[in-house]
Amino acid sequence: MNEVTLGIICEINPRKPQGLDPESECSFIPMDHVDDYFGLVSKMSVRRVSEVENGYTFFQDGDVLFAKITPCMENGKCAIARNLVNRIGFGSTEFHVVRARGSVIPEWIYYYLRQESVRKKAEQSMTGSAGQRRVPSKFLEEALIPLPPLPEQQRIAAMLAKADRLRRLRRTACELSDTYLQSVFVHLFGDPGVNPHKWDIAPVERALSRRGTQTGPFGSSLKRNEYVKQGIPVWGIDNVRENKFTEQGSLFITPAKYHQLSRYTVEDGDILVSRAGTVGRMCVAHPTQSPSIIGTNLVRVAVDTSAILPEYFTALFTYFSDRIESMSSGGTAYSFVNPRTLKLLKIPIPPITLQQQFAHIVHKFEHLRAQQREAERQAEHLFQSLLQRAFRGGL
């Protein structure tokens, strides 16, 4: 397959045409309206040309928008401008605009730029200072791209579009399922701020086990130079993600150091709460490695499972954190940073049988979510593999 430079078959950042009617309408697309995963313009607004013709980037229907600034480019912000009002649009000055000429279709350019390998090369070409680094137009002008005949471009682009739709559907399914447990929680327990079932209200402290709460080690208790490559896992805020516990990215200490820090041990079913970064993020820990401990920026919460289950506790705080403050008494502010404040918060305690029903649903849902994530991973791998084959050997 013959290769040509992108600058030969495309216009890179074409000039705005003269004579645009300043009172006519056009589409307006800022950077945050380009979705970096779906590769689409998520929404656009309508402006008058006079409002945006100065200080913004011009493009027209069929142009490919390619983010040039970090981290938008690395994240994959790239889209074809479609269905523009009066077929014209303006947008962020951080877009490169690539306009296909007669020998190439926009979809061929678009999928070429969607490749991870192309984005990595673009990253290597960036200029500027940290946080403001940009891909120069020269990179696009000199980028080598295979150029099969137009019918072959259309055939391959159609195949890539099918694979792209599959990965989008997988991601959409995951996003839709995110609200499922919240709906189940409301159905079973009602709004915890209202407590419609008139269940007993008690401070969190009464629902804790003998192990209670524990804040991670500070200062001289655990120093950076005491971490090792393998050993006893130390869980941090990166191990607590959106109500999900992950063991990826953990740090390690030696068994001898663990002996000094054993009071920070994490047991199966413990609740981990972040007290830095995104404060209040939490999950139920199910570590496959034992023993393990919490790190500096976590709080460990151990509940009495005869009164309250971890699945109910985390759902209560995760999905209704904006309302939990209304349950506190004595003017106590809702904050996960201070475990003592957490203990004083008053929460409804539903019957344990109802909590068990919810926990059963949570476990089944987590199994389904694992299958969804694997399907999404496979769809993404298929898409990137097909991209690579399309622009290296053909499909």
pLDDT for the residue 15: 94
Domain boundaries, the chain: 3-147, 150-176+352-395, 200-349
pTM of the predicted structure, to 2 decimals = 0.71
Residue 195 neighbours by CB under 8 Å, 6+ apart: 201, 348
Residue 118 neighbours by CB under 8 Å, 6+ apart: 112, 143
pLDDT for the residue 235: 93
Burial of 22 (0-12, 13-18, 19+ CB in 10 A): exposed
Query: Which homologous superfamily is 3-147 in?
Result: DNA methylase specificity domains (3.90.220.20)
Strand order in the sheet with 271-274: 208-215, 298-303, 271-274, 282-284
Q: How far apart are CA 27 and CA 82, in angstroms?
A: 10
> Cβ(276)–Cβ(294) under 8 Å?
no
Q: How far apart are CA 78 and CA 365, in angstroms?
A: 33
pLDDT for the residue 178: 73
pLDDT for the residue 148: 94
Query: Are 3-147 and 200-349 in the same CATH fold?
Result: yes
- Domain 200-349 classification at class level: alpha beta
pLDDT for the residue 328: 43
DSSP-assigned states of every residue in 116-147:
HHHHHHHHHT-BSSTT--B--HHHHHH-EEE-
| pLDDT tens track, the chain, 395 positions | 689 999 999 999 999 999 999 999 999 999 999 999 999 999 999 999 999 999 999 999 999 999 999 999 999 999 999 999 999 999 999 999 999 998 999 999 999 999 999 999 999 999 998 778 999 999 999 999 999 999 999 999 999 999 999 999 998 888 888 788 889 999 999 988 888 999 999 999 999 999 999 998 987 788 888 899 999 999 988 898 767 888 888 899 999 999 999 999 999 999 998 887 777 788 999 998 889 999 988 999 999 999 999 999 999 887 666 555 444 444 444 445 577 878 888 899 999 999 999 999 999 998 898 899 899 999 999 999 999 999 987 77
Q: How many CA atoms lie within 13 A of 103 on its CB side?
A: 15
Q: Regarding beta strands 64-67 and 78-80, do their DSSP bridges make them parallel or antiparallel, or are they unpaired? A: antiparallel
Residue 342 neighbours by CB under 8 Å, 6+ apart: 204, 213, 273, 299, 301, 335, 336
